Amino acid sequence: MALSRVERERVNDSRLKLQSVNNSLSHIDPSKVPDIDEIQECLENAEKTLDGALRSPEAPEEKPQ
């Protein structure tokens, strides 16, 4: 199902936040965060899923009646 422009913006914002968190974690000593590899893998998978949603065609905008 196609995303509206507003939904696409929200999904993209979320995707960018995931990238930011993943980038922040890459600067932390892995021994200090339990399961950091699994956390980063989860963030990467979530980002890929959201990226896939953004590749779908945009829904046509509804016109007021």
Q: Is 70 exceeded by the pLDDT of residue 64?
A: no
pTM, 2 dp: 0.79
Instruction: Give me the pLDDT at residue 65, please.
Output: 64
Tell me whether residue 3 is in a domain.
no
Q: Which domain holds residue 44?
A: 8-20+40-52
Q: What is the pLDDT of residues 6-63, one digit of tens each?
A: 999 999 999 999 999 999 999 999 999 999 999 999 999 999 999 999 998 777 776 6
Within a domain: residue 26?
no
Q: What confidence score (pLDDT) does residue 32 get?
A: 97
Residue among 5, 17, 4, 12 at smallest CA distance from 52: 12
| Number of Cβ within a 10 Å radius of residue 58 | 12
pLDDT at 2: 86
Residue 58 lies in a domain: no
Euclidean distance between the first and the last CA atom of the chain, given in angstroms as a whole number: 23
The answer to whether residue 48 sits within a structural domain is yes
Query: Which tokens belong to 14?
Result: 């979320």
12, part of any domain: yes
Q: How many domains does the structure of the chain reveal?
A: 1
Structure tokens at 20: 């930011």
- The answer to whether residue 15 sits within a structural domain is yes
